[in-house]
Amino acid sequence: MIKKRIIFIFLLPIFSFSIFSQEITKNKDESISIKTDSVIFLDSSGNLLEKSTFQDSLNTNEYIVAIKKSSAYLEIQLKKKYSDFQLGKEFPLIELIDINQNIINIKEKKLTLLTFGDITCKPCIEEITALNILAKEYPEVNFIAITSASKQNINKFLQEKGLEWNNLIISTDNQEYFKSLNIQNIPLNIIIDSSRRIKGVFIGEKIREILLSFENKN
């Protein structure tokens, strides 16, 4: 079997940008198999962007990113930061129940990190696994993973994947909170204090640095 890998870069009109990777395989029966992979960048309205323009917009700190993957391409789209989750504002009062049906009390610790995600989202899984490690290093901080998945599906997933998220608090069956808080893009991370004041809103980047900065301030 002969494999050739060809890399193409297309600059499309209307400020579009796409990286296209193509793998051509000649099979034993002389047939040809073609495997492709591409990355496209979109603005908040779904219009195609050049990579440099996308990065410039991201650097304004006004956007977060949403990632969608299909068998053909990876789509990365800018999303306006949540207007309801501004620094200093009070996070909505919600009652969270952990996976063992205990009420979660955020007032027990100075800071709480709320991470909204799902077990069907690969970046969410990677991030929660990393947060589970950080939770052991920062016992003075509540780490709460909030998902719309059921308790049964979470337990089944952890067992099948051989994962242990024992250092953080898992809250399941939270479809209503995702809807009421208008959370459409995950993973989403929100840091609040014991008075529910929002200290940070971000997606999966520099978690350790943000926690350290809070420690230095308090």
Residues 44 and 131 grouped into a single domain: no
The reported pLDDT for the residue numbered 45 is 78
Residue where the block lists tokens 């969410």: 124
Percent of the chain surpassing pLDDT 90: 20
Name the residue with higher pLDDT: 147 or 1. 147
Residues 110 and 76 grouped into a single domain: no
d(Cα 131, Cα 211) in Å, to the nearest integer? Answer: 12
The reported pLDDT for the residue numbered 217 is 53
**87 assigned to some structural domain:** no
Residues 143 and 56 grouped into a single domain: no
Residues 150 and 187 grouped into a single domain: yes
Residues 116 and 213 grouped into a single domain: yes
Residues 202 and 146 grouped into a single domain: yes
**89 assigned to some structural domain:** no
Name the residue range of residue 187's domain: 106-217
Name the residue with higher pLDDT: 137 or 73. 137
Q: What's the pLDDT tens digit per position in 59-112?
A: 887 777 777 776 677 888 887 665 578 888 899 888 899 998 999 988 888 899
**153 assigned to some structural domain:** yes
Residues 193 and 145 grouped into a single domain: yes
The reported pLDDT for the residue numbered 214 is 64
**197 assigned to some structural domain:** yes
**146 assigned to some structural domain:** yes
Residues 122 and 201 grouped into a single domain: yes
**94 assigned to some structural domain:** no
3-state secondary structure string, 123-149? Answer: HHHHHHHHHHHHHHHCCCEEEEEEECC
Query: Count of residues for the chain?
Result: 218
Residues 72 and 124 grouped into a single domain: no
Largest CA-CA distance found in the chain, in angstroms, rounded: 68
What is the rounded end-to-end Cα distance, in angstroms, of the chain? 62
Residues 127 and 200 grouped into a single domain: yes
Mean pLDDT score of the chain: 77
Highest mean pLDDT among 81-85, 100-104, 162-166, 179-183: 100-104
**100 assigned to some structural domain:** no
Q: Structural domain tally of the chain?
A: 2
CA torsion, ordered 158, 164, 170, 174, to nearest 10 deg: -20
CATH of the domain at 121: 3.40.30.10
Residue 15 sits at the vertex; the CA angle it makes with 13 and 21, to the nearest 5 degrees, is: 80
Residues 75 and 128 grouped into a single domain: no
Name the residue with higher pLDDT: 172 or 20. 172
**175 assigned to some structural domain:** yes
